[in-house]
Amino acid sequence: MKFVDEFRDTEKAKSLTKAIHQIALNLAPNLTKPLQIMEFCGGHTHTIFRYGIEQMLPDNIEMVHGPGCPVCVLPMGRVDDCVALAEQPDVIFTTFGDAMRVPGSKKSLLQAKADGADIRMTYSPMDALNIARNNPDKEVIFFGLGFETTMPSSAFTVLQAERENISNFSLFCNHITTVPTIKAVLDSPDMQLDGFLAPGHVAMVTGERPFDFIALDYHKPIVITGFEPLDILHSLWMVLQQIEQGRSVVENQYTRIVQPNGNTPALEAISQVFEIREFFEWRGLGSIDHSGVRMKASYAAYDAEKKFAVPNLKIADPKSCQCGEVVKGVIKPWDCKIFGTKCNPENPMGALMVSSEGACAAYYNNGYHEKETA
């Protein structure tokens, strides 16, 4: 398939893998532990597992699967809020597909749907707006979820609703921001990471500059990375080159998509509609300052938090969960006490088991149920 197969070429993969093994060999004498490279984004985690990339890497390079899966990091209380909104009379609640299965403290959206709530899966907030147009006697709520990648489409949809004066549409804004989250990971005392693959589609919106602090302040190499398997290998090679040469800068591997300054109209739409929250609660990571956005007061008419009574209760993560340590690379999924037993994809306890992009679900779904089988 054009524009797909080129990025999955076996021969190119072989030569990149060879180059990666060579650098790992060069670095080996100076290493006291394996190099840990974090791919922040759940999309990268998905590609890594789908193509078996970890098995192609040398033993002294470990991938750490970061917290960049917006579905995984949804706290239970927020899912409860969604269920409460969806169960109000005359509401059509719309959401991206993989948010349907995230467990709340009582039920998931999938269970709420089975109990009779009108919950519909959409691929885009514009589809939700269309449902609002076609159902003027219903309130249509879109569950806005994701990092800077999906933020612009939510913002544009709100602006479009305003332009057309569609008053029965609102956004339940749970968008989160990348930089404060990476910073929280970097600031944690047990952090041992040596380099980063930065999320390519976030950078497509934000540009390269927001990632500068990782290279400048924390002296970690970081490469903005695309989502095809060759992108991942290429970026890993770029990170390793920086490590070998003792450099730490922001490099862009995903030049076919990411402009240095990002996407100006998208950034303008974001800043027109959204503002930073003081803090936002994450499943597995706790509360992180400035890690979420809310809608500005001028868009209150389209803000589900203003239009409806949202319970907004905090529900603590299950105590046995070790998602935070997995996310920071301190332990592997199978080291967690409840991995694969109490916590599995059918009955996820922790954030990382929730979506197929979460590290634990990826390990489990790819058959790594125990350490020995990997």
Partner 1 sequence: MNSLLAKTKFSGKTITLSHGAGGKAMHDLIDEIFVAGFDSPELTVLEDQARFDLKDLTKLGNRLAMTTDSYVVDPLFFPGGDIGKLAVTGTINDLAVGGAIPLYLTCGMIIEEGFAIDDLQRIVASMKATADAAGVRIVTGDTKVVPRGAADKLFINTAGVGVIAEQCNIMANRATEGDVVIINGYVGDHGAAIVDARGELALEISTETDCQPLNYLIQKMLTVCPDIHCMRDATRGGLATVLNEFAQNSQVAIELDQTKIPIREEVRGVCEVLGLDPLYLANEGKLVAIVAAEDADALIELMQQHPAGKNSSVIGKVAASPQGKVILETGFGGNRIIDMLVGEQLPRIC
What residues line the site for partner 1 (CB under 8 A)?
1, 4, 8, 10, 13-14, 17, 42-43, 46, 49-56, 70-71, 96-101, 110, 121-123, 127, 145-147, 149-150, 201, 229, 345-346, 355-357, 364-368, 373
Q: Which CB, 87 or 127, lies closer to partner 1?
A: 127
User: Minimum distance from CB of 1 to partner 1 (Å)?
Assistant: 6
Q: Which CB, 141 or 215, lies closer to partner 1?
A: 141
Asked if 158 and 210 count as a contact pair (C-beta separation under 8 A), the reply is no
User: Minimum distance from CB of 123 to partner 1 (Å)?
Assistant: 6
User: Minimum distance from CB of 356 to partner 1 (Å)?
Assistant: 7
Q: Provide the sign of the torsion angle of the four alpha carbons 237, 242, 243, 248, taken in this order.
A: negative
Bridge partners of residue 257, in order along the sequence: none
At 238, which helix (H) or strand (E)?
helix 229-245
Q: Which CB, 242 or 355, lies closer to partner 1?
A: 355
Of 137, 140, 69, which Cα lies nearest the Cα of 98? 69
C-alpha torsion angle, residues 79, 82, 87, 91 (rounded to 10): -160
User: Minimum distance from CB of 97 to partner 1 (Å)?
Assistant: 4
Q: Map residue 108 onto helix, strand or coil.
A: coil
Cβ-Cβ contacts under 8 Å for 282 (sequence gap 6 or more): 67, 73, 75, 176, 181, 288, 291, 351
Q: Which CB, 14 or 247, lies closer to partner 1?
A: 14
Q: Is 374 exposed, middle or buried (0-12, 13-18, 19+ CB in 10 A)?
A: middle
User: Minimum distance from CB of 124 to partner 1 (Å)?
Assistant: 10
Of 112, 41, 64, 342, which Cα lies nearest the Cα of 353? 342
Q: Which CB, 47 or 252, lies closer to partner 1?
A: 47
User: Minimum distance from CB of 309 to partner 1 (Å)?
Assistant: 27
Q: Which CB, 56 or 79, lies closer to partner 1?
A: 56
